[in-house]
A = this chain, B = another copy of it.
Amino acid sequence: MNFLEQRIVQDGEVLPGNVLKINSFLNHQVDPQLMMQIGQTLAQRFQGTDITKVLTCESSGIAPGIMTAYQLGVPMVFARKKRPSTLNDAVYTAPVFSYTKKVNNDIFVEKKFLSKNDKLLIIDDFLAHGEAVKGMVKIAEAAGAQVMGVGVVVAKSFQGGSDWVTSHGLRLETLAQIGSLENGQVHFIH
Contacts and interface: CB of A to CB of B under 8 A. Distances in A.
A66 B28 contact: no
A80 B30 contact: no
Nearest to A62: B62
Count of chain copies: 2
Contacts of A112: 24
A86 B32 contact: no
Nearest to A109: B28
Nearest to A76: B30
Q: Interface on chain A toward B: helix, strand, loop, or mixed SS? A: mixed
A99 B25 CA distance: 32
Interface residues of A, number: 38
Given A21-B86, A24-B113, A58-B59, A66 B32 contact: yes
Nearest to A24: B113
27 contacts: A15-B86, A19-B86, A23-B86, A23-B110, A24-B113, A28-B77, A28-B87, A28-B110, A28-B113, A29-B75, A29-B76, A30-B66, A30-B69, A30-B76, A31-B75, A32-B66, A32-B67, A32-B69, A32-B70, A32-B74, A32-B75, A33-B73, A58-B58, A59-B62, A62-B66, A66-B66, A66-B67
Per CB-CB distance, the 3 closest pairs between chain A and chain B, nearest first, are A32-B70, A58-B59, A59-B59
Interface of A: 15, 19, 21, 23-25, 28-33, 35-36, 58-59, 62-63, 66-67, 69-70, 73-78, 80, 84-87, 100, 109-110, 112-113
